[in-house]
A and B are shown apart, each in its own frame.
Chain A
Amino acid sequence: MDSAAVFLPIIAALPFLGALLPGLMIQAGRNTCAAFTAAPTILALLLLMLCVPAVLRGEVLTYHIDWLPSLGLNVNFMLDGLGLLFAGMILGIGLLIILYARFYLSREDPMGQFYTYLLLFQGAMVGIVLSDNILLLLIFWELTSLSSFLLIGYWKHLPEGRQGARMALTVTGMGGLAMIAGMLILGNIAGSYDLSVILTQKEAIQASPLYLPALILILAGCFTKSAQFPFHFWLPHAMAAPTPVSAYLHSATMVKAGIFLMARMWPVLAGTPEWFWIVASTGLITMVIAAKIALFKDDLKALLAFSTVSHLGLITMLLGLGTKAAATVAVFHIINHATFKAALFMTAGIVDHEAHTRDIKRLGGLRHLMPITFTIATVAALSMAGIPPLNGFLSKEMMLAEVAETHWIGPYWLMGALATLGALFSVAYSFRYIAHVFLGPKRHDYPAHPHDPGFGMWAAPALLTVLVVLIGFMPMTFAGDLVRVSAQAVTQAEPYVKIYHWHGLVPAFWMSVVAVLGGAALLALHAPLMRAWNATPRPEAKTMFDAVTRAATRAGTALTDGVHDGSLMRNAAVFAVVVPVLGWFAYAAGGMTAPTRAPLPVALVPAVGWVILLVSTALLVVYHRARFTALVLLGIVGLMVSLGFVYFSAPDLALTQISVEVVTIILLLLALNFLPRETPAESSGARRLRDGVIALAGGAAVTGLTYAILVRDFAQDSISAFHLANSYKGGGGTNVVNVILVDFRGFDTFGEIIVLGIAALVIFALTDTVLRGAGGRRLANLSPDTNPEGQAGDRHPLMMVIATRVMMPIALMVGAYIFLRGHNEPGGGFIAGLVVAIAFLMQYMASGYAWAEARQRVTYHATIGLGVLIAALTGVGAWLAGRPFLTSDYGYLHFPPIEEFEWATAMAFDVGVFLTVVGAVMLALQSLSSMARRTGETVNVFPMDINPARTDTDTDENRGGT
Chain B
Amino acid sequence: MELLLASAIGVLTAAGIYLVLRLRSFPVIVGLALLTYAVNLFLFASGRLVVDMPPVLRDGVDSYTDPLPQALVLTAIVISFGMTAVVVMLALGAYLSAGDDDVSLAPQDDGREGGA
Contacts and interface: CB of A to CB of B under 8 A. Distances in A.
Interface of A: 166, 546, 549-550, 553-554, 557, 565-569, 572-573, 576, 597, 599-603, 606-607, 610, 613-614, 617-618, 620-621, 624, 627, 630-631, 634, 637-638, 641, 644-645, 647-653, 656-657, 660, 663-664, 667-668, 671-672, 674-676, 679-680, 682-683, 691-692, 694-696, 698-700, 702-704, 706-707, 709-711, 713-714, 718-720, 723-724, 727-728, 734-737, 740-741, 745, 748-749, 752, 755-756, 759-760, 762-763, 766-767, 769-770, 773-776, 778-779, 824-826, 830, 834, 917, 920-921, 924, 927-928, 931
B89 A763 contact: yes
Contacts, number: 338
22 contacts: A553-B115, A566-B106, A576-B21, A599-B3, A613-B8, A637-B37, A660-B80, A676-B26, A676-B101, A694-B18, A695-B13, A703-B7, A723-B68, A724-B67, A734-B56, A737-B74, A756-B82, A759-B82, A763-B85, A770-B93, A775-B97, A920-B82
Contact of A653 (B30, B73, B80): B73
Contacts of B37: 637-638, 641
Contacts of B38: 702
Contact of B90 (A766, A824, A921): A766
Nearest to A651: B54
A741 B101 contact: no
A785 B86 CA distance: 28
Nearest to B37: A641
Nearest to A620: B15
Contacts of A644: 5, 8, 41
Interface of B: 1-30, 33-34, 37-38, 40-42, 44-58, 64-68, 70-71, 73-75, 77-86, 88-93, 95-97, 99, 101, 103-107, 110, 112-116
A714 B46 CA distance: 9
B77 A699 contact: no
A550 B82 contact: no
A718 B2 CA distance: 20
A634 B49 contact: no
Contact of A671 (B23, B52, B91, B110): B91
B19 to A, nearest CB: 6
Contact of A600 (B40, B51, B75, B82): B51
Contacts of B12: 613, 617, 637, 699
Contacts of A728: 57
Contacts of B83: 759
A569 B10 contact: no
Contacts of A917: 78
B55 A736 contact: yes
A698 B17 contact: yes
Contacts of B51: 600, 647-649
Contacts of A546: 115-116
A706 B104 contact: no
Given A614-B11, A734-B57, A775-B96, 19 more contacts: A550-B114, A557-B114, A572-B20, A606-B4, A613-B12, A660-B81, A674-B92, A695-B13, A698-B13, A699-B15, A703-B7, A707-B6, A723-B68, A727-B67, A734-B56, A736-B67, A756-B82, A766-B90, A775-B93
A675 B92 contact: yes
**Residue in B50, B54, B78, B112 with the greatest tally of chain A CB atoms within 10 Å:** B78
A602 B21 contact: no
Contacts of A711: 2
Contact of B71 (A603, A648, A737): A737
Contacts of B34: 617, 620, 634, 637
A490 B38 CA distance: 63
A778 B77 contact: no
A282 B83 CA distance: 57
Nearest to B71: A740
A683 B23 contact: yes
A162 to B, nearest CB: 10
Contacts of A671: 88-89, 91-92
A638 B77 CA distance: 11
Contacts of A660: 77-78, 80-81
Q: Which of A549, A675, A826 lies at the interface centre, i.e. has the most chain B CB atoms within 10 A of its CB?
A: A675
B67 A720 contact: yes
Contact of B30 (A618, A624, A762): A624
A735 B77 contact: no
A727 B6 contact: no
A704 B51 CA distance: 22
Contacts of B19: 620-621, 624
Nearest to A566: B106
B54 to A, nearest CB: 5
A699 B106 contact: no
B101 A600 contact: no
A667 B82 CA distance: 11
Contact of A703 (B9, B16, B22, B97): B9
A602 B4 contact: yes
A631 B27 CA distance: 10
A736 B75 contact: no
A667 B71 contact: no
A694 B92 CA distance: 28
Given A649-B50, A769-B93, A700 B10 contact: yes
A679 B74 contact: no
B114 A737 contact: no
B116 A550 contact: yes
Given A617-B15, A649-B50, A667 B84 contact: yes
B1 A603 contact: yes
B21 A691 contact: yes
Contacts of A699: 10-15, 17
B57 A718 contact: no
A120 to B, nearest CB: 25
A770 B116 contact: no
Contacts of A779: 96
A773 B26 CA distance: 22
Contact of A709 (B18, B45, B79, B106): B45
A762 B86 contact: yes
Given A567-B103, A649-B51, A767-B89, A554 B68 contact: no
A921 B86 CA distance: 11
A634 B33 contact: yes
Contact of A620 (B30, B82, B110): B30
Nearest to B1: A600
B30 to A, nearest CB: 6
